[in-house]
Amino acid sequence: MNYGSLTFFQISCVSSKGLYKNITSNSNNWIALQFEGWMNVNRNAIGTRVELSLSDGNTLISEVNSGDSRGAGNQMIQHFGLGGNSLLQVKVKWPSGLIQDITVLALNSKHTRGAFRQF
């Protein structure tokens, strides 16, 4: 079951590998978004930008990418910690230029969305 607490595994050529598990207990909100390309958007939707508007007036921004440096890789799921805020709007900017606005998504869960498909 996914409770929104991130766990990650690190491998390094200069130090030992490590598993880091978040064992905190809180009731903060979170949301995870995974994007899938279709037609003229690459399969993993790399380059897709997502903007979340929160109830406190802040905006969270993330972009799907496959890695940041030599030998590094990222998961394709965009995970956002929202604290005690609610989500007002999600704006998805696909690499093709299409922009989609989403106003209703359940908090504390993962959502998968495909390019050019209705939400």
Parallel/antiparallel/unpaired status of strands 18-21 and 87-93: unpaired
- Amino acid, res. 97: G
CA dihedral 83, 65, 75, 6 (to 10 degrees): -20
User: 106 by DSSP, 3-state: which?
Assistant: coil
**Hey, what are 60's tokens?**
């969270």
Closest Cα to residue 32, out of 56, 66, 3?
3
Residue 32, number of CB atoms within 10 A of its CB? 17
User: How buried is residue 34: exposed, middle or buried, by Cβ count under 10 Å (0-12/13-18/19+)?
Assistant: middle
User: What is the full per-residue pLDDT of the chain (119 aa) written as tens digits?
Assistant: 455 666 667 777 677 788 777 777 778 899 999 988 877 778 888 899 999 999 999 999 999 988 766 666 677 889 999 999 999 999 999 988 889 998 888 999 888 887 655 44
